[in-house]
């Protein structure tokens, strides 16, 4: 009798174990929480359940050419960048509040200089204030450049108060934007190209957030990882760069290589789930594709003088199936935690920082509006109710009530 009881108990234990592991209705081996558990993630300025923000970027021209093309509904967000140390890209001109002819003359001159020599990097023009003014019904995501590559001991100086004036000016512009702002401080934290010291990075992040929160209640801090397979430091624990739950409102990551980087991206998503943080895909684009020329390319590095670009023709549906389809599928599969997505709608090849001789890799031309077939497929996805649009009710849907007066 005892033997039979022991066997029965063993079988019941195994049944309970299998039930807990796989569930009554089949197996579930996924690493992420079911998308049905949307209400488990909480966060400031998070879209309602079953909805997501969508941003276009990443510079002034990219935003305006997308929204003024007449091909798309207004995105719920715009992406822009600034340099914390110099505030380049924040207002982008002199005499912003002035009205004299001299001020206006300097403003026009500086605008031209910025477009010709933006950030001294050869990237596109960035003017956060203009983006705010020209897109009154969209939220804003601001990438804050704060590496020490051209700013010796910059992070230490931040924590010592050297850049308090710049931080306060940034807070003022955000406050006066009068809408939710998603602030990506020191984006791609673990990226080897940024070379952030983890301890200094976290201290600077905490200092900035502590100083800005009393001045502007309409921003969330977004901690962004690179999650790149080409990043040698990805083997380190991303937690080394994490400023802490009290200082981070959202997590974020860059997503350029669907399928190839999913292990790294999944690690970030699970990290965010564990810390109960919503996630913004802060940067995404079909790297290596040229939507205008309908090609995919890669760089054959044979030395600085012999760099060769190898391209292969692609039909629009091939580009969609190879990059966009798995991209959107990944977003929907992880909709419990991914609550915002930013797409870079850029002619990378036209900018010296990204163009020939491709020292920063080959990125192509990812402007959706350059191909009518891609536009059609794009709108079939983005026109759905899942994606929030720029509208008069957007800010209130995110939990922000517009303040009528600003200084």
Among residues 60, 88, 188, 190, which one is catalytic? 188
Q: Tell me the two tokens of residue 14.
A: 């195994």
188 is catalytic: yes
- What is the predicted pLDDT for the residue at 125? 84
- What is the predicted pLDDT for the residue at 161? 98
Q: What is the mean pLDDT of each run of 10 residues along the chain (407 residues)?
A: 45 40 32 46 95 96 95 98 95 40 45 46 80 96 95 97 98 97 97 94 98 98 94 76 98 96 95 97 97 91 62 97 98 98 96 86 96 98 98 96 61
Among residues 88, 283, 321, 380, which one is catalytic? 283
pTM value is: 0.84
133 is catalytic: no
Q: Is the dihedral of CA 323, 325, 328, 332 positive or negative?
A: negative
**Three-class SS state of 406:** coil
Answer yes or no: are the C-beta atoms of 108 and 117 closer than 8 Å: no
Answer yes or no: are the C-beta atoms of 255 and 313 closer than 8 Å: no
- What is the predicted pLDDT for the residue at 140? 98
- What is the predicted pLDDT for the residue at 28? 32
- What is the predicted pLDDT for the residue at 97? 31
> Which domains does the chain possess?
51-397 (3.20.20.80)
DSSP secondary structure of 100-136: SHHHHHHHHHHHHHHHHHGGGTT-----HHHHHHH-T
The rounded distance, in Å, linking the Cα atoms of 157 and 282 is: 27
């Amino acid at each position: 009798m005892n033997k039979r009881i022991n066997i029965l108990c063993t079988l019941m234990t195994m049944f309970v174990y299998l039930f807990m592991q796989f569930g009554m209705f089949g197996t579930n081996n996924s690493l992420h929480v079911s998308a049905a558990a949307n209400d488990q993630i909480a966060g400031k300025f998070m879209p309602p359940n079953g909805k997501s923000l969508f941003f276009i970027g990443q510079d002034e021209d990219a935003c305006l050419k997308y929204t003024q093309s007449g091909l798309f509904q207004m995105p719920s967000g715009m992406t822009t960048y600034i340099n914390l140390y110099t505030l380049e890209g924040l207002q982008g001109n002199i005499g912003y509040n002035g009205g004299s002819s001299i001020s206006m003359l300097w403003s026009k001159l500086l605008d031209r200089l910025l477009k010709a020599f933006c950030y001294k990097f050869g990237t596109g023009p960035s003017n956060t204030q203009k983006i705010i003014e020209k897109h009154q019904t969209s939220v804003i995501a601001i990438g804050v450049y704060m590496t020490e590559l051209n700013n010796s001991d910059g992070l230490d100086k931040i924590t010592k108060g050297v850049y308090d004036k710049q931080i306060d000016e940034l807070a003022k512009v955000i406050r006066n934007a009068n809408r939710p702002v998603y602030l990506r401080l020191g984006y791609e934290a673990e990226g080897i190209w940024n070379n952030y010291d983890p301890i200094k990075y976290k201290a600077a992040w905490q200092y900035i957030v502590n100083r800005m929160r009393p001045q502007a209640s309409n921003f969330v801090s977004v901690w962004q990882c690179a999650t790149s397979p080409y990043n040698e430091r990805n083997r380190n624990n991303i937690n080394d760069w994490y400023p802490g739950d009290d200082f981070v409102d959202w997590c974020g990551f860059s997503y350029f290589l669907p399928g190839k980087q999913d292990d790294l991206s999944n690690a970030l998503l699970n990290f965010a789930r564990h810390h109960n943080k919503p996630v913004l895909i802060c940067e995404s684009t079909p790297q290596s594709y040229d939507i205008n020329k309908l090609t995919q390319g890669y760089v054959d590095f044979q030395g600085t003088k012999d760099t060769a670009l190898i391209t292969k023709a692609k039909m629009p549906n091939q580009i969609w199936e190879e990059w966009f389809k798995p991209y959107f599928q990944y977003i929907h599969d992880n909709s419990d935690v991914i609550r915002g997505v930013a797409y870079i709608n850029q002619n990378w090849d036209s900018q010296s920082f990204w163009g020939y001789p491709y020292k920063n890799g080959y990125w192509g031309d990812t402007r959706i509006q350059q191909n009518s077939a891609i536009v059609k497929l794009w709108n079939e996805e983005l026109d759905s109710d899942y994606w929030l649009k720029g509208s008069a009710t957007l800010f209130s849907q995110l939990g922000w009530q517009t303040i009528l007066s600003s200084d």
